[in-house]
Structure 1
Amino acid sequence: MTSQDLLRSPSVPHTRPQVVFDDPSTGPFHQKCGAEPTALDSIPDVIRALWAPLVVPITAPAFTTIDGEKKRLPPFPELIHTKPLGKRVCILDLDNREFADHGDVFSYQIPTWGNLRGPAAGFISHYLYAMIHGYSYKFIRAPKYPDRAPHWSKVIFTKEMLKQYDVVVMMDSDAMFATPQVPLEWLLNYWRIGPEALVAMPEDPLDHPNYDVRRRVNVNSGFIIAQAGEKTQRLFKDWAECPSETRYPGCAVWKKRPFHEQSAFSSHVRYDFLDGYSIDSHPQYIRTIPCTEANGYPQVAQSGCVGQFVRHYWADKNLTNLEFNHNIMAALTPLLVQSAYKQPGVVEDYREKVLDGALILDNPHR
């Protein structure tokens, strides 16, 4: 089926959803439980229909990144996923900040593009990615630990979400999918993250201070892929309890010291998990993703991390707005061109005619 066929498919809605709020204070983030459905309820279907012609098939043999590098999947018999995981995947946002100022996602004044704040752009892009591919989406408004940095809450709530979903993808607000048309299943195939993998995270740049106590480069917990199972529950439990030092002497230093839970995992947990396993003896359980593919962004290319699939704007969080803008327009531009200029009956071609005053005449020389 061609992209034009998909655009003409009966599954694509032909009516435009009308979003009207009589009272802005009761907007989409303040709707009462059990309220009647509104036009907002159709937005996930609209998003999927818009992106349908662009979504990369799960088993597509190759994909070319924005910077022109061709990435190839393993041979078909070696693929891990050939069918969509759907709602078994949860894209997880988690934060304990209020985000109630103008331009934030929980403001009583619905953000407009002109006042959208950086974290909001990141969160909305994660929701967009989930809707494009039919995944579940959750935003956890987390409480704060009384004795440690708020970053630690991502560990315990990822663990809890793994009781409900097969795969949980936890993302910081400044981490975004650079190519949202690429489904997670394709990435799992490409990175060879099979069912035995408990957790996967990208490496940090090879530069100070991104090394653990053994002088090995840290993993970055701003993008976590975790897969459900008893072993994963145990791993995340040990990780969340690391600062208690019942299992990991010296881990308490990471309660409030950067990089908090990330350093605790990198310096302690990955070297001793599941009763004596380590990342070196059992690398199939803890997977590292190349930094250039799932960390950093083009403006810090000198770090070796350009975020070909997942970008993490740790040094300039305001760039999330530009990334979100690119995500939307990169998808809409080819669709609009297809719809406006490639459909029969839209463009009328008079170039072979002759204009004479108020007349449009046939060209006698043709």
Structure 2
Amino acid sequence: MTAFPSVPQSWRRLVLLVPAVLLSLLFAATIFDAPLPKPRLPKVVFSDNTPARPLGPIRAQCKPNETNRLDDVPGLIQAMWASIVLPITAPSFTTLDGTEKKLPPAHELIHTEALGKRVCILDVDTRPLNSTGDIFSPDPLLYHKMEPRSAGFLSHYLYASIHGYAYRFVRAPQYADRAPHWSKVIFTQELLKSFDIVVMLDYDAMFPSPEVPLEWLLNYWRVGRDVLVAMAEDPDAEHNLDLRRRVNVNSGFIVAQASDNTQRLFADWAECPEETRYKGCARWKREMFHEQAAFSSYVRYDFLDGLSVDTEARYIHVLPCLEANGIPEVSHVGCAGQLVRHYWGEKQLTTRELTNSVMGMMAPLLAKAAYTDPGVVMDFRDKFLVGDRILDEEPAERLDVGSDVD
């Protein structure tokens, strides 16, 4: 007896078929929901013996540059400037403002050979110098963020490297009882124990023509071997007069030559504010112009047990302000910085000076490298252009572009 007596036979078959279809769909869904097996990847083996691909005709000539190391920057600088360095005995030199400077006769020259590492270019500073744009900043020194003092310091390093001199940067402690400027006196004295000549510069004192060696300058200024120290005069102005109404010498650029007498001179200078020898000098511990005023008002009038700059001028050599102080922007006061510049009025211009120094060398070097190397410049000036052609000879018929129009 059937369970569905009143249902047609076709409907009864459909009722039996539906569960079978649903079970099939469920089974298929289970299969496709399972993770698919991962395809097998070929095994890659790295080997140093892999044959190199053949290079094209251009790449074959491009070999790795093995000479771009920067572990000898001073040597690199010296090589780049070598072609423009002024010979120590060159009879004359023309400054940037067009003034010709002439050496004394050959038999009167003091230096005829390079002094090399017997000369030390010295920077002394008591500041941390670790802010952005400073030379001891933890961040890379970016040119457009460089502090003016960094430009000055770098120019001194550049000058020393060009001529093969030693360079020292002293991070000095400060005196407890006086201005930080005093530290350069004692450290110049200390370096004179290791070098024949020490050139101490404030950061804003720079060489506008770094191709001119110190030996040439000493020949030109006649700084003989008996000179203890050479410094430039300040501008002739009321605020630059010493206690005897004479113009101060400026201690931002000091050329000191080693000797026992020089050691004594610097010792007396450093001890001036203690007033053991110079009564009244204590005022310059913190008062402008500090160590400069002390030297100008006291030391130069009484050194080496009673000598004076007036009677023994050969020991303290005063350089012209026109040549060894100031900058062109203040030339109206008589100090144009023709050979050594001192940016005491426009310190921010030290960056410009460093740029000029570097580009003064790079411009001719780049021009020579770029436009005299065979194969770089392609000269077609003796050819003739006609349409899309470059001809060796002028064509017989040329278009008359200037013909009249009716």
TM-score (norm 1): 0.89
Q: 1:365: Cα distance to partner? A: 7.3
- Say what the alpha-carbon RMSD is for the aligned residues: 1.5
2:132 is equivalent to residue 102 of structure 1: yes
8 Å contact from structure 1 (residues 48, 133) kept in 2: yes
Could you report, residue by residue, the CA deviation over 1:9-56 in whole angstroms, capped at 9, with x for unpaired residues?
xxxxx96865xxxxxxxxxxxxxxxxxxxx432211110111011100
Q: Give per-residue Cα distances to partners, 1:72-129, cap 9 Å, x unaligned.
A: 0000010000000000000000100011001100000011111111000000000000
2:76 corresponds, among 46, 55, 80, to 46
Residue 322 (str. 1) matches residue 322 (str. 2) = no
The alpha carbon displacement at 1:226 in A equals 0.2
Q: Percent identity?
A: 60
2:189 alignment counterpart: 159
Secondary structure of 2:239's counterpart equals coil
Work out whether 1:356 is the aligned partner of 2:386.
Answer: yes
The answer to whether residue 107 in structure 2 is matched with residue 77 in structure 1 is yes
Which residue, out of 190, 202, 216, partners 2:232? 202
SS in 2 for 1:233: helix
Structure 1: which 5+ residue stretches go unaligned?
1-13, 19-38
Is 1:64 matched with 2:88?
Answer: no
User: Hey, what's the Cα distance between the residues in 2 that align with 1:81 and 1:15?
Assistant: 40
Task: Give me the whole-angstrom Cα distance separating, in 2, the residues matched to 1:151 and 1:86.
Answer: 28
Cα deviation, residue 163, structure 1: 0.2
- The 5 A counterparts of 1:196-345 are 196-345=226-375
Q: Which of structure 1's runs of 4+ aligned residues deviate more than 6 A?
A: none
**1:174 paired residue number:** 204
Q: Which of residues 171, 184, 207 is equivalent to 1:141?
A: 171
Runs of 5+ consecutive residues of structure 2 not aligned to the other structure: 1-63, 397-406
Deviation at 1:364, TM superposition (A): 3.0
CA distance in 2, matches of 1:250, 1:15: 65
TM value normalised by structure 2: 0.80
* 1:65–1:362 CA distance, 2 compared to 1 (3 A): same
Q: Which amino acid aligns with 2:258?
A: A
- For 1:79, give the aligned amino acid: L
Alignment partners' CA distance in 1, 2:228 and 2:202: 19
Contact 1:212 / 1:267 at 8 angstroms: preserved in 2? Answer: yes
Tell which structure's C-alpha radius of gyration is larger.
2
Q: Determine the C-alpha separation between the residues in 2 that align with 1:247 and 1:342.
A: 65
For residues 304-344 of structure 1, the C-alpha deviation after alignment (integer angstroms, 9 at most, x for no partner) is 10100111110121010111111111111111112222344
Matched residue SS, 1:221: strand
Aligned to 1:33: none
Query: Is the counterpart of residue 129 in structure 1 residue 166 in structure 2?
Result: no
Q: Distance in 2 between matches of 1:204 and 1:214?
A: 15
Partner-residue secondary structure (3-state), 1:318:
helix
- Partner Cα separation in structure 2 for residue 41 and residue 224 of structure 1: 31
CA contact (8 A) 1:272 1:278 kept: yes
Paired residues, what number?
333
User: Aligned partners of 1:311, 1:174: CA distance in 2, in Å?
Assistant: 8
